[in-house]
């Protein structure tokens, strides 16, 4: 995942260069999409039975430092990339979710602001009765470049 939303880009510009306060969310919510958003928002989030965004607290323990997967100290690496330190697992589908093509980060469990998004390496059709979809530790990457 490496596309920042216009919302987050504007918040970062105002915070870093224009002296405007921005409080990062204490929790980010991982979402699954069946159609791509743009930096301005949109896309189509899964909304079928059993689906809900997954909450991941914003912390050194939950997101790797830029120096490598699984690290839990402040970033000091040069690659600008982080990843999830633990599996991110959604609920089991109780209806067909369709073909999931993208993942996104939001600042709320429903609604809220799109923060970042990206295409999955391969789309995945998720049907009623399938195992709960999950990103293994280190599989959900986010890069600032």
pLDDT, tens digit (0-9, with 9 covering 90-100), for 75-132 = 998 989 999 999 999 999 999 999 999 999 999 999 999 999 999 999 999 999 999 9
Contacts of 71 (CB under 8 A, 6+ apart): 64, 65
Predicted local distance difference test score (pLDDT) of residue 145:
75
Q: What percent of the chain has pLDDT over 90?
A: 90
Pinpoint the alpha helices (H) of the chain. Answer: 6-17
Q: Which two tokens stand for residue 9?
A: 């880009």
Predicted local distance difference test score (pLDDT) of residue 129:
96
Predicted local distance difference test score (pLDDT) of residue 1:
66
Q: Identify which of 33, 27, 28, 54 has the alpha carbon closest to the alpha carbon of residue 103.
A: 33
- For residue 95, which phi and psi values (nearest 5 degrees)? -160, 170
Placement of tokens 């799109």 in the chain: 114
pLDDT level of residue 144 (50, 70, 90 thresholds): confident
pTM for this model (two decimals) = 0.95
User: To 5 degrees, how large is the angle CA 96–CA 102–CA 104?
Assistant: 110
CA distance 12 to 34: 28
Predicted local distance difference test score (pLDDT) of residue 108:
98
- For residue 40, which phi and psi values (nearest 5 degrees)? -85, -5
Max Cα-Cα span within the chain: 50
Predicted local distance difference test score (pLDDT) of residue 79:
87
Whether the pLDDT of residue 43 is over 80: the answer is yes
């Amino acid at each position: 995942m490496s596309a920042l939303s216009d919302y987050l880009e504007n918040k970062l510009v105002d915070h870093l260069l224009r002296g405007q306060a921005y409080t990062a969310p204490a929790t980010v919510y991982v979402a699954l999409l069946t159609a791509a958003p743009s930096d301005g928002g949109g896309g189509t989030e899964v909304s079928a039975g059993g689906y809900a965004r997954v909450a991941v607290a914003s912390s050194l323990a939950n997101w790797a430092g830029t120096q490598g997967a699984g690290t839990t100290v402040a970033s000091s690496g040069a690659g600008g990339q982080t990843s999830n330190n633990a599996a991110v697992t959604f609920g089991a589908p109780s209806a067909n979710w369709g073909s999931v093509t993208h993942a996104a980060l939001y600042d709320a469990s429903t609604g809220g602001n799109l923060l970042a998004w990206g295409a999955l390496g391969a789309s995945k059709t998720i049907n009623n009765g399938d195992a709960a979809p999950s990103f293994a530790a280190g599989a959900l990457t986010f890069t600032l470049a």
